[in-house]
Structure 1
Amino acid sequence: MQATAYTYDAETRSGQVLLDDGTPVPFDTAAFDAGGLLRLRPGQRVRIETEGEGAARKITLVTLQTF
Protein backbone atom coordinates (compact mmCIF):
# COMPACT_ATOMS: atom_id res chain seq x y z
CA MET A 1 0.00 0.00 0.00
CA GLN A 2 1.22 3.52 -0.71
CA ALA A 3 1.05 6.54 1.58
CA THR A 4 2.68 9.93 2.16
CA ALA A 5 5.00 10.63 5.08
CA TYR A 6 3.23 13.12 7.32
CA THR A 7 5.34 13.41 10.47
CA TYR A 8 8.66 11.91 11.52
CA ASP A 9 10.65 12.21 14.76
CA ALA A 10 14.32 11.36 14.16
CA GLU A 11 14.97 10.74 17.86
CA THR A 12 12.29 8.08 18.26
CA ARG A 13 12.26 7.00 14.58
CA SER A 14 8.45 7.06 14.62
CA GLY A 15 5.74 9.20 13.07
CA GLN A 16 2.63 9.15 10.92
CA VAL A 17 1.75 8.60 7.29
CA LEU A 18 -1.32 9.78 5.43
CA LEU A 19 -3.18 7.19 3.41
CA ASP A 20 -4.40 8.34 0.01
CA ASP A 21 -7.85 8.97 1.49
CA GLY A 22 -6.28 11.38 4.04
CA THR A 23 -6.42 9.03 7.03
CA PRO A 24 -3.41 9.46 9.34
CA VAL A 25 -1.86 6.19 10.56
CA PRO A 26 0.99 6.13 13.09
CA PHE A 27 4.09 3.96 12.77
CA ASP A 28 6.52 2.97 15.49
CA THR A 29 10.27 2.46 15.66
CA ALA A 30 10.01 -1.23 14.74
CA ALA A 31 8.11 -0.46 11.52
CA PHE A 32 10.62 2.24 10.56
CA ASP A 33 13.62 0.02 11.29
CA ALA A 34 12.07 -2.87 9.31
CA GLY A 35 12.24 -0.71 6.17
CA GLY A 36 15.96 -0.01 6.49
CA LEU A 37 15.57 3.75 6.16
CA LEU A 38 17.94 6.23 7.79
CA ARG A 39 15.58 9.22 7.76
CA LEU A 40 12.28 10.36 6.34
CA ARG A 41 10.99 13.75 5.19
CA PRO A 42 7.34 14.78 5.35
CA GLY A 43 5.85 14.64 1.86
CA GLN A 44 7.87 11.64 0.67
CA ARG A 45 5.88 8.83 -0.90
CA VAL A 46 6.33 5.62 1.03
CA ARG A 47 5.27 2.00 0.76
CA ILE A 48 3.77 0.52 3.91
CA GLU A 49 2.71 -2.92 5.02
CA THR A 50 -0.01 -3.23 7.62
CA GLU A 51 -1.77 -5.81 9.71
CA GLY A 52 -5.19 -5.62 11.31
CA GLU A 53 -8.27 -3.65 10.33
CA GLY A 54 -9.89 -0.35 11.29
CA ALA A 55 -8.72 1.13 14.59
CA ALA A 56 -6.54 -1.96 15.17
CA ARG A 57 -4.57 -1.37 11.94
CA LYS A 58 -0.84 -1.31 12.60
CA ILE A 59 1.98 -0.45 10.23
CA THR A 60 4.65 -3.15 10.22
CA LEU A 61 6.99 -1.71 7.56
CA VAL A 62 7.76 1.73 6.12
CA THR A 63 10.06 2.08 3.12
CA LEU A 64 10.44 4.50 0.21
CA GLN A 65 8.19 4.05 -2.78
CA THR A 66 10.20 3.51 -5.93
CA PHE A 67 8.73 3.72 -9.41
Structure 2
Amino acid sequence: MQATAYTYDSETRSGSVLLDDGTPVPFDAAAFDAGGLRLLRAGQRVRIETADGGTDARITLVTLQTF
Protein backbone atom coordinates (compact mmCIF):
# COMPACT_ATOMS: atom_id res chain seq x y z
CA MET A 1 0.00 0.00 0.00
CA GLN A 2 1.24 3.53 -0.67
CA ALA A 3 1.13 6.55 1.60
CA THR A 4 2.85 9.91 2.16
CA ALA A 5 5.27 10.54 5.02
CA TYR A 6 3.65 13.02 7.40
CA THR A 7 5.79 13.16 10.54
CA TYR A 8 9.08 11.58 11.60
CA ASP A 9 11.13 11.87 14.80
CA SER A 10 14.74 10.81 14.20
CA GLU A 11 15.38 10.25 17.92
CA THR A 12 12.56 7.73 18.39
CA ARG A 13 12.55 6.59 14.73
CA SER A 14 8.75 6.78 14.79
CA GLY A 15 6.20 8.95 13.06
CA SER A 16 3.11 8.82 10.92
CA VAL A 17 2.00 8.57 7.32
CA LEU A 18 -1.07 9.84 5.52
CA LEU A 19 -3.05 7.33 3.54
CA ASP A 20 -4.36 8.49 0.18
CA ASP A 21 -7.72 9.27 1.77
CA GLY A 22 -6.01 11.62 4.27
CA THR A 23 -6.14 9.27 7.25
CA PRO A 24 -3.05 9.57 9.48
CA VAL A 25 -1.58 6.24 10.64
CA PRO A 26 1.31 6.06 13.14
CA PHE A 27 4.33 3.79 12.83
CA ASP A 28 6.87 2.75 15.45
CA ALA A 29 10.65 2.27 15.37
CA ALA A 30 10.30 -1.44 14.52
CA ALA A 31 8.38 -0.61 11.32
CA PHE A 32 10.90 2.07 10.38
CA ASP A 33 13.86 -0.24 11.03
CA ALA A 34 12.26 -3.06 9.00
CA GLY A 35 12.34 -0.86 5.91
CA GLY A 36 16.07 -0.21 6.14
CA LEU A 37 15.70 3.57 5.92
CA ARG A 38 18.06 6.01 7.61
CA LEU A 39 15.96 9.17 7.28
CA LEU A 40 12.45 10.16 6.26
CA ARG A 41 11.19 13.59 5.23
CA ALA A 42 7.61 14.83 5.26
CA GLY A 43 6.06 14.58 1.81
CA GLN A 44 8.08 11.59 0.63
CA ARG A 45 6.06 8.87 -1.02
CA VAL A 46 6.41 5.60 0.90
CA ARG A 47 5.29 2.00 0.67
CA ILE A 48 3.86 0.49 3.84
CA GLU A 49 2.88 -2.99 4.90
CA THR A 50 0.35 -3.67 7.65
CA ALA A 51 -0.24 -6.58 10.00
CA ASP A 52 -4.03 -6.21 10.30
CA GLY A 53 -6.63 -4.88 7.94
CA GLY A 54 -9.42 -2.47 8.62
CA THR A 55 -9.29 0.55 10.91
CA ASP A 56 -6.92 -1.15 13.38
CA ALA A 57 -4.11 -1.61 10.84
CA ARG A 58 -0.63 -1.65 12.39
CA ILE A 59 2.23 -0.63 10.12
CA THR A 60 4.98 -3.25 10.09
CA LEU A 61 7.21 -1.78 7.36
CA VAL A 62 7.93 1.68 5.95
CA THR A 63 10.17 2.05 2.89
CA LEU A 64 10.50 4.49 0.01
CA GLN A 65 8.18 4.00 -2.94
CA THR A 66 10.13 3.35 -6.10
CA PHE A 67 8.87 2.90 -9.62
Structure 1-normalised TM-score?
0.96
Partner of 2:4: 4
Structure 2, gaps ≥5 residues long: none
In the comparison of the two structures, how many residue pairs are matched?
Answer: 67
Q: Write 1 or 2 for the structure with the bigger share of strand.
A: 1
Cα RMSD over matched residues? Answer: 0.8
Runs of 4+ in 1 over 4 A off after TM superposition: none
Which structure 1 residue ranges, 5 or more long, are not aligned?
A: none
Deviation per residue, 1:16-54 (Å, 9 max, x gap): 000000000000000000000000000000000002133
Quick one: percent identity of the two aligned structures? 81
Instruction: Note if 1:47 corresponds to 2:31.
Output: no
